[in-house]
Chain A
C-alpha cells in the first residue's frame, strides 16, 4: 500500500530539484509521444534549443516571445497567489491590445503626437481596458459568488470576437483582417533602433516591452513581499479563514487583485501590438494567456521566477512553430503542468510503501481512526458545510478556490 505522509521538514534543495526533475520527466514523456506519432524527439528538442538560444539573433526573438509571457505570467501569478483562478489573461491581453490600438486608430489623439506622450497614453489605455476585463469576473465573484474560472474563460471567447469585430469592421484596412499600421511614434524602441550606437544590435527585435516586464516583476515582488496589501493577499491565499478572523475584507481585495491582474495582462497586449506587431490584427496571440497559467505555476507564483519561466516558454513557442506535428508545444506545456503538480505532492509529502497493506491510505496523523476528523468535532469535512459565511462564494461556485491551509 502506498502511503503519503506530510513532511515535517522540507530540505531547501528539494523544491527546485523536483521542479527541474518534473520538467525533465515531462520532456521525456513528450519525446516518447513525439516518437510514437512518427517524429524524431531528439531532433525536435535540438531544433527547439537551436532555434531559440542558438545565436544572439534568435535569442532576441525568444525574448520578444517571452515579453508578453512575462506580463501575462505575472498577471496569473498575482491572482493565483490569492488562489483566484484567473484563466482569462488571454482575453485581458486582447482587450489591452485593443485599448492601446484605440488611442491611435479611433484616433483619440491628433496625428503627429510625439511618442513620449503617445506611448504612455497607450500603456494607460491598454492597462485600463485589461483591468476592466478583469473587473467583470472579479465583481461577479465578489458580489454574486460566480465561479471565476468559468467567467474568465468565457470572456476570452468574447474578447476574441470583440477584436475580430474591430479588425474586420471599423478598423479594417482595405477589407483585410488587420488595421492600418500604427504611426512610428507609437512603436516601442527596439534594440535594432540603436544599431548606430552599438552595431551589434543591428537586426535585433527585442523591444522596450521587455523592460516593462522586468519592471513589473520587480514592482510585483515589492508589492507582494513588502506591502501590507501584498501580505494580506498572501494571507488570504494561504488561509482565508485566518484572513477573515483578522478582519480583512476579502471581497474588496479580490476585486483589486483582479483589476491589477487584468491591467498586467492588458499591458502585455499593449506591448505586443506596440512593440512587435505594430498594428491590431486577428491572431495576435498564440495563446500567451493560457501559457501564462503554466508559467505562473512553474514559477510557484514568484515574480522573479516568472521571468525565467517565461523565457523558457517563449523559446518553446518560438521554436515550436516549425515543429511537426503542430500541437507539440501545447502538448509539452500540458505534460509539464501535470508533472509539476505531481512533483508538488512529492515536495509536500513523503511517499511510504507499506508491506502488508495496513488499512490506511494517507491516514498519517491519527493512524486511521475510523471516525476521522475528530479534532473538528461536528465538522469532519473541514468545517466547510457549516455556514454560508464560512465560504463566501464557494457554496455556489464549483471549484471556487478552496483554502489550502
Chain B
C-alpha cells in the first residue's frame, strides 16, 4: 500500500465530512442542533447528481445541491426556531424526510455516469516533499475549497464581529437580544448556512469523490459521523477539519487490510470472502463512539465546548427552556 496515495484519498473523502461538520458547527454555535445532516447530505447528493446528469454541468449540480440543502435546513429552522418544536425530533424528521425523498428522486439514477468536477494540481505547491503529493496533486477543486473554508470559518466565528454575534446567540441569547441582535433571525441564517454546507457535502460525494448514485447507501451514515465529529472537535472548525481528514484517512487504511495476505506472519483473517472482514467494517463506527466519548469527557472536564443555549428555543421574556 502506498501511504501517500491513501493519505491523498483520505484528504479527498475527508472533504465530505469537513463540509458537513463545519456546517453543523455553524448551526450549533448559533444554538440550534440539526440532526438532519444525513438527510440534507443525501438530498444534496441526489439533487446535485441528477442536475449534473440532465444538464451536463457539474457546477450547476453543486449549486442546486447547496440550494436544496438550504431549503431543507430552512424547514428545520422554522420548525425548531420559530415554532419551538423539539430540535432533536425535528432534526430526525429531516433525516427521515431527506432519506425517503432522496430515494424517490433518485429512482433510475443508479448505474449512470456523469463527468466529475475537475481535479487540478497546484503548481509549485505540489512539488513540495511529502505534503505536495498528498494535498496539492490532482485533487478536486472542492478539496481546495475545503482548505479555504477551514481558516475562514474559524476566523469568522472567533475573530469577527458577526462571529461574536453568532457566538452570543448560541451562548446567551437573552443578552444578545438585549444588545439588539435579532436572535431568531440570526439563528435561522446559520442553520440555513449549515444546510448549504451539508448540501455541498452531498454533492462533493456524488460529483467529486465517489461519483454515482447508490440509493441511501450513497451517504451511508457520513452525516451522523459528521455530527459526532462536531462533539469530538468541541465545536472548533479547525479540529473538525483535522478530525475529518484523519477519520477519512484511517478508514480506507483499515479496510485496506482486507487486501493483505498475512499480518506479522499470521494468515490474515480479514481477507475478502472471509466473514471476519465484517469486524473491520464495524471499526469506523466504533471509532466515532470512542471519539465522541473522549470529546464528551474532555468537554465535561474543562467545562467548554457545547454552546450553552444549544437545543433551547429562545423566547423573549421567558425562561429559556
Which residue numbers of A lie inside 8 Å of B, CB to CB?
Answer: 2, 4, 33-34, 37, 85, 87, 140, 144-147, 149-151, 153-155, 157-158, 161-162, 164-166, 168-170, 172, 290, 293-294, 297, 324-335, 337-338, 341-342, 344-345, 349, 360-376, 380-385, 388, 393-405
A372 touching B103, Cβ below 8 Å: no
Q: Say which one of B134-142, B247-255, B259-267, B275-283 lies at the interface with A.
A: B275-283
Tell me the minimal C-beta distance from A372 to chain B in angstroms.
Answer: 4
Which residue numbers of B lie inside 8 Å of A, CB to CB?
Answer: 28, 33, 35, 39, 75, 79, 82-107, 171-175, 177-178, 184, 216, 221, 224, 227-228, 230-231, 274-276, 278-279, 281-282, 285-286, 288-289, 292-293, 295-297, 299-300, 303, 305-306, 308-312, 314-321
Partner pick for A170 among B275, B292, B296, B309, CB 8 A cutoff = B275
Partner pick for A384 among B89, B95, B221, B312, CB 8 A cutoff = B312
Secondary structure type dominating chain B contacts:
helix
Chain A residues near B82 (CB-CB < 8 A): 2, 361
A327 touching B83, Cβ below 8 Å: no
A324 touching B292, Cβ below 8 Å: no
Chain B residues near A373 (CB-CB < 8 A): 174, 317-320
Chain A residues near B315 (CB-CB < 8 A): 362-364
B92 touching A368, Cβ below 8 Å: no
B174 touching A337, Cβ below 8 Å: no
Tell me the minimal C-beta distance from B4 to chain A in angstroms.
Answer: 29
Chain A residues near B286 (CB-CB < 8 A): 154, 158
- Given the known interface contacts A294-B96, A337-B93, A397-B296, the answer about A162 and B317 at a Cβ–Cβ threshold of 8 Å is no
Partner pick for B275 among A168, A329, A337, A402, CB 8 A cutoff = A168
A33 CA to B103 CA in the complex, in Å? 12
Tell me the minimal C-beta distance from B316 to chain A in angstroms.
Answer: 5
B278 touching A396, Cβ below 8 Å: no
Tell me the minimal C-beta distance from A257 to chain B in angstroms.
Answer: 16
Chain B residues near A366 (CB-CB < 8 A): 317-318
Tell me the minimal C-beta distance from A395 to chain B in angstroms.
Answer: 6
Chain B residues near A365 (CB-CB < 8 A): 317-318
**Which residue of chain A has its CB nearest to the CB of B34?**
A399
Can you spell out 11 A-B residue pairs with CB atoms less than 8 angstroms apart? A144-B297, A144-B300, A165-B278, A327-B104, A334-B97, A341-B85, A373-B174, A375-B319, A396-B231, A399-B33, A399-B91
Tell me the minimal C-beta distance from A339 to chain B in angstroms.
Answer: 9
A368 CA to B318 CA in the complex, in Å? 9
Tell me the minimal C-beta distance from B44 to chain A in angstroms.
Answer: 16
B306 touching A396, Cβ below 8 Å: yes
A395 touching B319, Cβ below 8 Å: no
Partner pick for A150 among B28, B106, B227, B309, CB 8 A cutoff = B227
Q: Which of A155, A337, A404 has the most B CB atoms < 10 Å from its CB?
A: A337
**Which residue of chain B has its CB nearest to the CB of A136?**
B289
Chain B residues near A383 (CB-CB < 8 A): 319, 321
A294 CA to B227 CA in the complex, in Å? 21
A145 touching B311, Cβ below 8 Å: no
B85 touching A381, Cβ below 8 Å: no
Partner pick for B321 among A369, A375, A402, CB 8 A cutoff = A402
A372 CA to B172 CA in the complex, in Å? 11
Chain B residues near A33 (CB-CB < 8 A): 101, 104
Chain B residues near A164 (CB-CB < 8 A): 275, 278, 281
B97 touching A337, Cβ below 8 Å: yes
A151 CA to B293 CA in the complex, in Å? 9
Tell me the minimal C-beta distance from A312 to chain B in angstroms.
Answer: 16
A161 CA to B285 CA in the complex, in Å? 11
Given A150-B224, A151-B292, A293-B92, 11 more pairs with CB closer than 8 A: A144-B296, A145-B297, A146-B296, A147-B292, A149-B88, A338-B75, A338-B79, A363-B316, A380-B320, A382-B321, A398-B231
A360 touching B93, Cβ below 8 Å: no
Tell me the minimal C-beta distance from B222 to chain A in angstroms.
Answer: 11
Tell me the minimal C-beta distance from B276 to chain A in angstroms.
Answer: 7
Chain A residues near B320 (CB-CB < 8 A): 373, 380-382, 384
Chain A residues near B87 (CB-CB < 8 A): 399
A14 CA to B171 CA in the complex, in Å? 36
